[in-house]
Structure 1
Amino acid sequence: MKRLLITGAAGGLGHAMRSRLGGLAERLRLSDIADLGAAEANEELMPCDLGDAASVMRLVEGCDGILHLGGVSVEDRFSKILNANIAGVYNLYEAARAHGRPRILFASSNHTIGYYRQDQYLTTTDPMRPDGLYGVSKCFGEALATMYFEKFGQETALVRIGSCFEKPRNHRMLATWMSYGDFQSLIERVFTAPRLGCPIIWGSSNNDRSWWDNSAAAYLGWRPKDNAEDYRAELDAAMPTPPADDAASLYQGGHFVREPIHQES
């Protein structure tokens, strides 16, 4: 690609991918409302509020691909989620439609299905069961992307990220963890595969413990390599396993199912 747009590039995941994807495009266009730091030689910085339609239209112009990590990434007030995760996603897809429909990797979330129990094994056709307003916003994003594919041919990978960190941070992540390296390889596959379409992809590594069936996306040729089980002893030494009746042991969304609705201040 000539230019890959990364939204949310100042966040933890955006920062990690920014340093790994320089070989995927001649230029990386980085965007966020937070400080993006200094631009590297192959980077261009374009701060942007996703809720500002005109700014998003300018942001997408000239891009061959979009890695959409931007928006609110935790449970929050509805007004913040509405601006970034609902209006912002609509603005992004309208801008993509206006500028040649570049492929998009949409960072969805396991919180679209957070109320399923951990003893349930899910396919991508199981109904959504969001565990909060954040999860609802990702359900909206998946639905919007699907409609833009059906109506306009806009290709999108809907990646339901489990927990993407350098290493798993708690026992629940033994099932949900996706390593930075595996996410990098998934991104590369999404933007180079001959055919994408609009698949739902479970964003997790090759963990021994798994709740999700990724066979529907096997045609992409993505094969995650890392395994959260390698960190089990380290986790066991660092913290106790949560009780069997704890949300972190019962639900795929973990403690998100217990989060209250955040009131407007």
Structure 2
Amino acid sequence: MLITGAAGVVGTMMRSRLRREGRVLRLLDREPLPPAEPGEAVEPVTGTLTDPDVMAAACDGVDAIVHLGGHSRENSWAETLAVNIDGTHTVLEAARKAGVGRVILASSNHAAGFRLVADAGPDGLPADSPARPDTYYGVSKAAIEALGSLYHSRFGIDVICIRIGACFERPSDVRALSLWLSPDDAGRLFEACLGHPSPGYRVIWGVSANTRGVCSLAEAEELGYRPQDDSERFAAGAAPSDPSARYLGGPFTTAALGEPN
């Protein structure tokens, strides 16, 4: 299995959580990766996902890709286009040519960041809510969902797009209490996506079972995801959110476009 962006925040947390007996993790990042731990079956690859030759070599012989690479915050349009959109196209093309049967794409809540939290309803916002991006970054995530749909429909690759909420060790503020995806639940979610026999094309939310949740868990649960964590235990220490929290994307809806944050 290949993980792109393996040295990033989520990639680093998933390295140990996706470790399984008999599974070899091929880890791709432009930054050098920590060496293998005793008993760990990893194949580090240093390179960029925007390079077709690097991606072709990285995809050779793998059965699934967890695509976490790319800019994870707002950046210039040129950088966002080159890395997040064109880079994901390079990943999917390499997967197609190598015969990789399943690709999991890390989308984001910011693909739908201008959705009003008040519109969530009792079952939460559906995972396939139409895109309402809040930034160039959000546009790139909506674009990779569309690319994933194309590569499933045209070439039969199973593609699951995970609209990740806030995947950190703990939520930072009140808004994040509703969107938190614990690292352990993230591992459970990726395993569910990897293990479902025939998912086809899906868009799902990547969140934990949060008491204050505003995103539907139903679509991820259909794949076998069983979240076990709840952000409520962090509520007492959560910082207040500003008025932008009325939107799913929170402060991204007021951030300057194209400026790294």
TM-score by length of 2: 0.92
- Equivalent position to 1:260, from 229, 239, 256: 256
AA at the equivalent of 1:79: A
SS in 2 for 1:159: strand
SS in 2 for 1:206: coil
CA offsets 1:3-62 (integer angstroms, 9 cap, x no match) = x11111111111111122111652111111122122334111111211111211111111
SS in 2 for 1:107: strand
1:38 aligns with 2:35: yes
Q: CA deviation at 1:214?
A: 3.0
Query: Closer, same or farther in 2 for the Cα pair 1:182/1:263, shift >3 Å?
Result: closer
CA offsets 1:205-263 (integer angstroms, 9 cap, x no match) = 0011122223234321212111111110122xxx3x235xx21x221101101111226
Residue in 2 aligned with 1:215?
218
Query: 8 Å contact 1:110–1:161 — kept in the other structure?
Result: yes
Aligned partners of 2:231, 2:55: CA distance in 1, in Å?
37
Aligned partners of 2:232, 2:66: CA distance in 1, in Å?
28
Q: How many residue pairs are counted as aligned between the two chains?
A: 254
- 5+ long unaligned stretches in structure 2: none
Query: 8 Å contact 2:180–2:207 — kept in the other structure?
Result: yes
Query: 8 Å contact 1:90–1:144 — kept in the other structure?
Result: yes
AA at the equivalent of 1:107: A
Residue in 2 aligned with 1:19?
16
Query: 8 Å contact 1:168–1:228 — kept in the other structure?
Result: yes
Q: CA deviation at 1:125?
A: 3.6
1:75 aligns with 2:74: yes
Aligned partners of 1:66, 1:34: CA distance in 2, in Å?
19
Residue in 2 aligned with 1:110?
109
TM-score by length of 1: 0.91
1:7 aligns with 2:4: yes
Query: 8 Å contact 2:159–2:199 — kept in the other structure?
Result: yes
- 5+ long unaligned stretches in structure 1: none
Residue in 1 aligned with 2:98?
99
Query: 8 Å contact 1:64–1:102 — kept in the other structure?
Result: yes
Aligned partners of 1:67, 1:210: CA distance in 2, in Å?
25
- Equivalent position to 1:167, from 165, 170, 180: 170
SS in 2 for 1:163: coil
AA at the equivalent of 2:210: N
Give the 5 Å matches for 1:70-219: 70-121=69-120, 122-219=125-222
Query: Closer, same or farther in 2 for the Cα pair 1:173/1:97, shift >3 Å?
Result: same
Q: CA deviation at 1:126?
A: 2.5
Aligned partners of 2:21, 2:163: CA distance in 1, in Å?
22
Give the 5 Å matches for 1:225-240: 225-235=228-238, 239=239
1:48 aligns with 2:47: yes
Aligned partners of 1:20, 1:50: CA distance in 2, in Å?
23
Query: 8 Å contact 2:2–2:25 — kept in the other structure?
Result: yes
Query: Closer, same or farther in 2 for the Cα pair 1:263/1:100, shift >3 Å?
Result: same
SS in 2 for 1:137: helix
Query: 8 Å contact 2:189–2:220 — kept in the other structure?
Result: no
Aligned partners of 2:18, 2:221: CA distance in 1, in Å?
23
Aligned partners of 1:25, 1:190: CA distance in 2, in Å?
18
